[in-house]
Structure 1
């Protein structure tokens, strides 16, 4: 028989953490039943490890028995601590009010040429079909003279200032969009007519004149318009439109008979 300290050293060298003697040891403490109970089965048992058989230990004699009673200790293995994984911080969704709306692209500048004329008590803002001032033999100018004679006005209108060509600048950061063109044309016509004196009616001839002086569109043809800062205006189709669509001349003549009382004097 070997003493208790050497026996435990042998068992530790063989990595035996718990053991029970095959025979009752003299003067040993009674065994506890709970130590003999098997642990409950686990769902995924670990693979069994082969344990080498241990040679039986002879019973200790009273002479070799230690003075203190040997106690059987069972070391319960503890699972290794697992690292706690923190969840990533949640990213708050932006509120509807914080949504950044894409910036609207600026509108391209419109392109047109207008000429302001004076014929008797009327002023005429006329679209230049070619972008250049009227020549005496231009078909559009000859048609304009016919309209003036039919309206009872002088058929040789007088130029007021230079033609208004838009865009004003070919380069630069100056805003030359539709709103800027409208403000410029209206201020130009108002300033020139203030210098000219009384004006009974302002003819707006052509779509650019309607859009950038009368703030309206083609659906206002042959109607009277009231624009702040300008005399009462009359909307007419463009000269090229009248030449391409002769049927419009009859409609224009019927509208002229109603409105010509504004500038005809006895």
Structure 2
């Protein structure tokens, strides 16, 4: 594994206790960064943070007060926040729009889209004041193309792409860069929320004929968190094994 230049940088990663978030945290620590794992599962977040020499906070990304409290605690423990990776999300049920549970729709949008907005809303003032920051939002190829029987997830991730573009433009003349990553599916705990038919559908759409590895997503996300990512902002970076058509 090649090292990226994250020495001395402080990052908060939502959904950081497992899966993609944890892989990003591991890559950042290996590259000299310090990490705060923000997750609803505080027990696992604390276990992984102890292993990585980092910090853990219980964070429900739909709760702005909880995010602000976690940010304050993180900065007290590690120093000013340089990097936000907004990764936390759920898939919701697999069902056609005509029978999609209304409460489930609202929950997916609230966690996967509004949660990203709230985290960005919390960290941007400090980053702007220090004239430095890197925000990496984890979207999905579903946000580009739409997956059948996953309208809420697809719509939320499309919203993350739009939010990233808007915020990137707002901050383009500052030292803060805002980008998002659109992975194909990876074999993580999120697969437990999907039907086997949905998993098979997603695999069938990937020309590389395999799911993405979380380490591959981490490699791209961590580069976007470095100083080297100096001119790319409001951009969408594909890591979908050739699936994305634009």
TM-score by length of 2: 0.32
Compare CA radii of gyration and give the structure with the larger one: 1
Higher relative contact order (CA 8 A, sep 6+): 2
Higher strand share: 2
| TM-score, scaled relative to structure 1 | 0.30
